[in-house]
Amino acid sequence: MPSAARTADHFADPRSRWLGEFVPIIGTNSPSSGGPKPAGAAASQTTTPKLTDAADPPCDHGPVDLDLLRSTLEDLGQPRFRFDQVWKWTSEGAKGYHEMSNLPAKLRDELTERVPFSTLTEVRRAEASDGTVKLLLNTHDGRPIETVLMRYKDPTSHPNRRGRRSICVSSQSGCPLTCTFCATGAMKFGRNLTAWEILDQALHLRRIDALDHCVFMGMGEPMMNLDNVLEVCRRLPAVGITHRRIGISTVGWVPGIDKLTESDVPVRLAWSLHSADPELRSDIMPVNDRYSLADVKAACDRFYEQRRKMIFVEYIMLGGVNDSVEQAQLLADLLEPWKYKINLIPYNPTDSVYDGSERDQMEAFRQVLEDNGFNATIRLIRGRDIDAACGQLAAKAAA
């Protein structure tokens, strides 16, 4: 089959769509000193972000802290169903208490006064020509975080026949794992986000559009903050995102993978692998020195044995670094095609020491995987004109 036709088939395959195209672009706008130089480095491509001032329309501000909401309603002597009423309005996209028409007006005023409607303040909003929306948000203590909404035109593969609305949320402000290709990794690590700060990212995006898919693949390593991530997963069905449409991504934090395996939340697992060569992987992902490929593979296998759900492998294509056919064969030798589905991610080279792989090279890489029996796709690029890669907007704002 000609490669172009094969690509079209991959993009048309609904099985490949739910997680495989969630994250818009991974890249960096911060030159990194630690990683290997790609062969034949080309001039960096620059993009002009389309930024607008945030909060359009404006929301009420500051922590939905559901614990505070519950205790405040108790203080006010309200019946228990009031909490459910407020949460229902909030999870369905209400922009403030003033919209909650089945609450007494006096109670709406009291809540506006005592329970800030969001834990996050919207600082910037960037909208791409393909419908992708990226928000830069600040926590109450000034930590920047990013969250992204991606809109797809694939009505035939989705039950509501309007195309998926996928979100990519952050679990940490910054990240301590310092992968060399990642803008977030180049930022100073802030802290783990609270469950409400993670949930509020989804709620901010829910006020923009109805949602149906979510991946924890934004800033931070979700497995280092798994209790809060799982708390959010339990709430997301109320926002419109069922558990089987939630994916948690990890670079290989083994204790978190094992904890997820033992949890009661039936979400999907994605492994951001990026190289099956141990030495190269340690060069571009220092976490590899802590948890080896074999250790992470064993943890992923345990997840598969327990859940019997295919694991998604994310593989960012760095030109001249990890994109050779030999690297593809190493990847094929490491994994089993019935357990792992592989997503090849075009790299956004903005201002980075790395370049993205050429399309022909990505196709050659994928061909090796397919020859070894894998289902492998090349991800659609989303939001390139708004710096939609993880950490880009926050890094620019901090610069």
Active-site residues, by number, are 146, 390
Query: Least distance from C-beta 192 to ligand SF4, angstroms?
Result: 13
Question: Under a CB-based contact definition with an 8 Å cutoff, are residues 149 and 198 in contact?
Answer: no
What is the rounded CA–CA span in Å between residue 327 and residue 234? 38
Upper half-sphere CA count for residue 106 (Cβ side, 13 Å): 3
What is the rounded CA–CA span in Å between residue 311 and residue 325? 22
Residue nearest to ligand SF4 (CB): 185
Query: Least distance from C-beta 156 to ligand SF4, angstroms?
Result: 33
Angle at CA of residue 387, ends 383 and 390, nearest 5°: 95
Closer to ligand SF4 by CB, 121 or 250: give it: 250
Closer to ligand SF4 by CB, 28 or 138: give it: 28
Burial class (CB in 10 A: 0-12, 13-18, 19+), 295: middle
Closer to ligand SF4 by CB, 182 or 369: give it: 182
Closer to ligand SF4 by CB, 239 or 273: give it: 273
Question: Under a CB-based contact definition with an 8 Å cutoff, are residues 270 and 229 in contact?
Answer: no
Closer to ligand SF4 by CB, 82 or 382: give it: 382
Upper half-sphere CA count for residue 323 (Cβ side, 13 Å): 24
Closer to ligand SF4 by CB, 221 or 370: give it: 221
User: Which residues contact ligand SF4 by CB under 6 A?
Assistant: 175, 177-179, 182, 184-185, 219-221, 251, 390
What is the rounded CA–CA span in Å between residue 297 and residue 23? 22
CA dist 187 → 182, 184, 190, 378, 393 (Å)? 9, 5, 9, 28, 11
Query: Least distance from C-beta 118 to ligand SF4, angstroms?
Result: 23
Angle at CA of residue 131, ends 127 and 132, nearest 5°: 60
Residues 6+ away with beta carbon under 8 Å from 185: 28, 32, 175, 177, 178, 179, 391
Question: Under a CB-based contact definition with an 8 Å cutoff, are residues 341 and 315 in contact?
Answer: no
DSSP 143-160: -EEEEEEEE---GGGSTT
Residues 6+ away with beta carbon under 8 Å from 141: none
Query: Least distance from C-beta 298 to ligand SF4, angstroms?
Result: 20
Closer to ligand SF4 by CB, 127 or 314: give it: 314
Query: Least distance from C-beta 41 to ligand SF4, angstroms?
Result: 21
* Tokens found for residue 54: 């945030």
Query: Least distance from C-beta 274 to ligand SF4, angstroms?
Result: 8
Q: Does residue 199 come out as left (phi exceeding 0), alpha (psi in the -120 to 50 range) or beta?
A: alpha
Query: Least distance from C-beta 247 to ligand SF4, angstroms?
Result: 14
